[in-house]
Every structure is written in C-alpha cells, then in structure tokens.
Amino acid sequence: NAIMVKVVTCTAPVNIAVIKYWGKRNAALILPTNDSLSVTLSQDILHSKTTIAASPDFSHDRLWLNGKEEDITKNKRMHNCFRETRALRKQLEDSSAEPLEPLSTYPVHVCSENNFPTAAGLASSASGLAALVFTLARLFDLPTSTSDLSRIARQGSGSACRSLFGGFVAWEMGSRDDGADSLAVQVAPETHWPELQALICVVDDAKKGTSSTEGMQNTVATSPLLQHRIRDVVPERMRDMKKAILDRDFQTFAEITMRDSNQFHAVCLDTFPPIFYLNDVSRAIIRLIHEYNATSPDGRLKAAYTYDAGPNAVIYAPKQNMKEIIHLITRYFPGADFVDPYNFFPEGEVVGSNL
C-alpha cells in the first residue's frame, strides 16, 4: 500500500497598520473594537513560508517554527484555523460527485519559517498565521474567496487577516456577533502606488514587553481614551485614509499615519497600569521625522513614522525621499547599520538594525 502524503508550500507577507487595531469586543472570535487599515510589504524582503503535509499515517497535528518543534496542544488560535479549514474541506468531500481524498480527517505537520530574523523584533504573527491559513486552503483545494479566508486567519491572529491581500487593506470590524462580517478587503492593489516605500528601523531586536493580547485586554478594561478613539476618531480616519490612498495623496496619508500611531501609544499610556512600547530612540526618531518634515520648502510632508506594539519604527515615504531619510538617520544615529540582504536598495525596502 502506498503511503498517502500531500505537501503544499506557500508564503505570506508582513503588513504594517497605518490605522491601528487595538481592542477586542469578543476575545474568542477575535472581533475588534474598530476598523483598521494596513499596507502589505513586499514579500521579497519579509515573509513567512509555511509547508504543510497531511497524511493518514501521522498521529497528531504538529508544528515546527523556525526549525524547532512547538507544543501546540494549548494553541487555541491554531486549532481555530485547523477546525475552520477542515470544516470547509469536509463540505467539499461530502458534496463532491467523485470521491475525494478524505484530507479533512488526516493529521497535519506544519513547518513555518520567517525569511527575516525573528530576533529583529518585528511582528511575525500576521504573516505566520496568514501563511498557515492560505497553505491549508491550498492543501485542501478550497474554492474559498480571499476575504472568506481572511475571516479564518482573523481567528488565528487579528492582524493576520490583512496579510491575505497585497497592497492597501482594510479590516472591517463588522457588526455581527458571530463575526461573519469581520473580514479584510483590498482598498487598492500593490501596483496602485509604487512610489510609496517602507523603511524598517530595528531599534531593539529583543522580544519583550506586554503581548498584544494582554495589552489590548487591559486597554479595553481601563482606558477612557480608547472609547473616544473608537467612537469619535477611527470612523472618520478610515474614510479619509481610503480616499488619500485612492488619490495617492501622501500629505493626508502621512498625517493620519503619524496621528494614528501617536493615538495608539497614547491609548497604551492611558491604560492602567500604563503600557510603554516606545523607548528613547523611538521618540528621537519621531522628533527627527517632524524636524525633517519642517525643512520641506513647500510645507508638504516628506515622511511618516508608525510604531506597533514595540520600539521599532516603520517609516513610510515616497521613494524619492528614502535616500535622504537613510542619510539623516545614519547621521543622527551613527551606530545605524542598515541591512539590505537582497541588495534591492534603493528600489526595495531596507531593514535597518542597531540604531
């Protein structure tokens, strides 16, 4: 008897939000308290690559992360993704005219790795969980649309739902209690605004601080500023940001991006006890970008910073300004060491380290 093993490999990119997701209204289903919007970065520079094998001869589901086996028995979020994709596969098997391989009943072995140093302190959960769900969908030959897959990835890690699409992506919070309308939609494809580039400045490559899960939970429970943000700030920003992207209006894009990053970190400070993600170098980069923007002869913004749940800066700017920005950062932070592993500079994104 031949041993049946089916193997599929896929990659998924990293996304960096310009309107931040911070807060869950339902922790089990990962339903957010506000809409969010992100830019998906080029897969050439940063991605998660996942290989999944399914076989009736495997004894149970297993995961290897960057070459090391992880215990996933208590990993609810991964099991959410397995359960949802297997249920869709089962439907397919039950409704098919010809008999299909009963893949929905086979245990899987998952191997996932990032092509960027995990030590870089960059969030890898979004690309990792997006790669998991996309690879499962391919393994099971699911005819499911990308937005429907994003709904499953959302239950792996909230921000992962946005990594199913390239370009500019909105996560619509939805209004239903079952999460059926909480999914990602593409606002514009990656080809829409090729002049826009992202520079990643690795300020601190250690993984520490408050996890996003725990941080959000405490913010929702204690921050009055979050309630104001949800009600009075994000809806208007979502409308203005979508328009700015469609118009390739960097001025509006940059202003909203910086204001939203600042409000996210203000909401962290408003949490009790407070959460600090930025450090002195992060704040110095914020000041530097504002001073750089102040030198603009026509008063138009030349760059925008944004920070997630950590001290590392992501700087969005039109391609023509990137060289100047890198020179500026290296002048003010002489230890700055930019790593350009793919030799794409000045065309591609540049990962900087040891600022």
Q: Does 309 bind ligand PMV (CB under 6 A)?
A: yes
Part of the chain binding ligand PMV (CB under 6 A), chosen from 18-26, 86-94, 234-242, 243-251: 18-26
Nearest distance, CB of residue 54 and ligand PMV, angstroms: 27
3-state secondary structure 111-169: EEEECCCHHHCCCCHHHHHHHHHHHHHHHCCCCCCHHHHHHHHHCCCHHHHHHHCCCEE
Question: Checking DSSP bridges between strand 108-114 and strand 62-65, what pairing results, if any?
Answer: parallel
Q: Residue 53 or 234: which CB sits closer to ligand PMV?
A: 234
157, 257, 306, 353: which one binds ligand PMV (CB under 6 A):
157
Nearest distance, CB of residue 27 and ligand PMV, angstroms: 11
Cα 184 off chain centre by: 12
Nearest to 152 by CA among 311, 314, 30, 27: 30
40, 80, 125, 263: which one binds ligand PMV (CB under 6 A):
125
Nearest distance, CB of residue 60 and ligand PMV, angstroms: 26
Token pair listed for 339: 């790593």
Nearest distance, CB of residue 172 and ligand PMV, angstroms: 13
Q: Does residue 192 sit in helix, strand or coil?
A: helix
Q: Does 36 bind ligand PMV (CB under 6 A)?
A: yes
Nearest distance, CB of residue 167 and ligand PMV, angstroms: 16
10, 13, 14, 20: which one binds ligand PMV (CB under 6 A):
20
Q: Residue 22 or 338: which CB sits closer to ligand PMV?
A: 22
Report how far residue 169's alpha carbon sits from residue 38's, in angstroms, rounded to the nearest whole number: 5
Nearest distance, CB of residue 217 and ligand PMV, angstroms: 11
DSSP codes joined into one string, 259-319: HHHHHHHHHHHHSSS------HHHHHHHHHHHHHHHT-TTS----EEEE-SSS-EEEEEEH
Residue with token string 């309308």: 181
12, 17, 184, 304: which one binds ligand PMV (CB under 6 A):
17
Part of the chain binding ligand PMV (CB under 6 A), chosen from 17-25, 179-187, 193-201, 297-305: 17-25
